[in-house]
Structure 1
Amino acid sequence: MVAQACRVWPYDESLALAAVAYAPPGQTAIGERALRLVIAMLDAQSSDVLAVHEREIGEDAAFALLEGGVLLDTARYDLAQGTRAFGVVLRSSAPGPSCPDGRFNDELTLYVREGRALRPVFASHMDFWTRVRGEPCSWARGQHLVTEEAAFTIGVERGRRHGFADLRVTADVARIETTDGDEDRLVRRRASRIVRYDGTRYDVDALENGFFWTQAPEDE
């Protein structure tokens, strides 16, 4: 077993949620495995499986899963009357490129129960970093370096589409400006976008692959 998370669901304490990632026999090289992720809803008393979803996760230079890399998100994602989603977060431990222009982590997927199945309805990374100006890996005297990092949160809106509530994705952005010989300057701001359900899942095109917060604000 590579990573796992399990807890009683606060929304309904008769149920438990579990997410387990494991590698097939013989696959041991971290960063090269074809992992299997099993998400399950269980009876909290008997541990009987009530609903399940399975998917494959391929590791590479940008994504590798270690112990502690699977987390459960049980915030109040009330998408419709009687329908609350829960989240599974995958946190990569891969080092990635040494000098990237940007990076992301903490992939969140929201699931809803439909009978014996758990269906994914939303997916996005939740943690981002980007280089705006300068070269952090080749520091030069007097260089002006600007980087930004963003952490996402999700709120449930009153508007609805195809029976499910709209979601507001808010980016809490920290802009860090560094000039040789001066103290860092930190500026914080927020940006947000609305995503809407298309009848199958939430259309996340508005998030610009997660980097919408680097763009000019737009009307919603």
Structure 2
Amino acid sequence: MLRFPSALTGALALAALLACGAAQAARDACPQAADIVRAVYPQAPAPDAEGRVRLGQDNLVVQISDDEFGAPFAVTCKAWPANPNLLLAAIPLVQDGPDDADGHDGDLQILVLDRATLNMLHDLRLEGLMSDDAIRVSGVSFDTARYDVAPGRRTFGLRISREGSSRANPFSETSLRLFDIGAQRLDMVLDGLIVDRSSGEWDTNCAGEFTERTVSLAMDTAQAQGLRDIVATESYESSRSAVQHGDCVEKTVDKGKTPHTLKFDGQRYRIPESLRALDRENAG
């Protein structure tokens, strides 16, 4: 079974997500970022002193990050273990604005490139997926687990993490999308499945209530419309914390697992409403 790491509950959830996100970004650091952007946008200028490439269309900016741990809006890439000749890349296309503190407005371009030449083989632009406001994008990374939707047919995944800015109401969520490389084009067959969500409300000292949900995936043998069903097992836990005898005590009040079967409808896997990520509202 393909399993995803869970975040810590309660007040530690955001710190755990940040550490996990930094580690994932380090694995997906993209030293070829500038070359990829140049190959895809040959008329674009060189990066400026801040590592940004201005495309000159719709006031779009691409971030080329030299930081060891990358950045949420920087180009991300990863060689695909299932086919080492291919390079997967994600280019955030963000509108340049006067103040990023108010949020971002942008799309995400998914690319499949020839690893040796950087020739673009497939691309897919997801409109609005990099837009955010109070719930900020905190990480983008490729997921190359064995998502075999049919014999000899493996998809690749993309995870997008988001987190809220309120200390009193902590919130974080990671969504998953799956992409299928066909003979003629790249298709998104799974759009915005929650694989991790943590939320809560507390007094910033001790007393509060918290919930955590994680989802593990397994490919089934049953099929619909030519692709295997995906069994998504949702694990959930609710807890409550309070001061007792001078100590902060946390107690689990509800815990369980719920299986869901995702079936392919000919275009995409159907996701139950309870497992639909927030960023599905932004994506086109």
**Of 61, 64, 68, the match for 2:136:** 64
Partner of 1:176 in structure 2?
Answer: 239
User: Aligned-pair distance for 1:193?
Assistant: 1.0
Asked if the contact 1:3/1:22 (under 8 Å) is kept, the reply is no
Structure 2 residues not aligned, in runs of 5+: 1-62, 64-72, 278-284
Aligned partners of 1:106 and 1:125: how far apart in 2? Answer: 6
Bigger helix share = 2
CA 1:26/1:178 → structure 2, altered by over 3 Å: closer, same or farther? closer
Q: What does 1:206-217 correspond to in 2, within 5 Å?
A: 207=274, 209=276
Asked if the contact 1:148/1:175 (under 8 Å) is kept, the reply is yes
CA 1:62/1:185 → structure 2, altered by over 3 Å: closer, same or farther? same
**Of 37, 43, 58, the match for 2:114:** 43
User: Aligned-pair distance for 1:21?
Assistant: 1.0
Q: Which residue identity lines up with residue 219 of structure 2 in the other structure?
A: V
User: Aligned-pair distance for 1:28?
Assistant: 4.9
Asked if the contact 1:30/1:64 (under 8 Å) is kept, the reply is no
Asked if the contact 2:163/2:172 (under 8 Å) is kept, the reply is no
**Of 88, 92, 96, the match for 1:21:** 92
Q: The residue matched to 1:184 in structure 2 has which SS?
A: strand
Partner of 2:202 in structure 1?
Answer: 136
Partner of 2:194 in structure 1?
Answer: 125
CA 1:6/1:27 → structure 2, altered by over 3 Å: closer, same or farther? farther
Q: Which has the higher contact order (CA 8 A, sep 6+)?
A: 2
Aligned partners of 1:138 and 1:16: how far apart in 2? Answer: 44
Partner of 1:205 in structure 2?
Answer: 272
Asked if the contact 1:50/1:116 (under 8 Å) is kept, the reply is no
User: Aligned-pair distance for 1:6?
Assistant: 0.9
Partner of 2:251 in structure 1?
Answer: 185
**Are 2:220 and 1:157 aligned?**
yes
* Over 6 Å off, 4+ runs: none
Q: Percent identity at matched positions?
A: 22
**Are 2:148 and 1:85 aligned?**
no
RMSD in angstroms over aligned alpha carbons? 2.9
Asked if the contact 1:34/1:56 (under 8 Å) is kept, the reply is no
Bigger strand share = 1
Aligned partners of 1:176 and 1:13: how far apart in 2? Answer: 44
Aligned partners of 2:79 and 2:188: how far apart in 1? Answer: 20
CA 1:79/1:151 → structure 2, altered by over 3 Å: closer, same or farther? same
Asked if the contact 2:162/2:172 (under 8 Å) is kept, the reply is no
Aligned partners of 2:174 and 2:181: how far apart in 1? Answer: 22
Structure 1 residues not aligned, in runs of 5+: 211-220
Q: Which residue identity lines up with residue 7 of structure 1 in the other structure?
A: K
CA 1:139/1:16 → structure 2, altered by over 3 Å: closer, same or farther? closer
Structure 1 length-normalised TM: 0.77
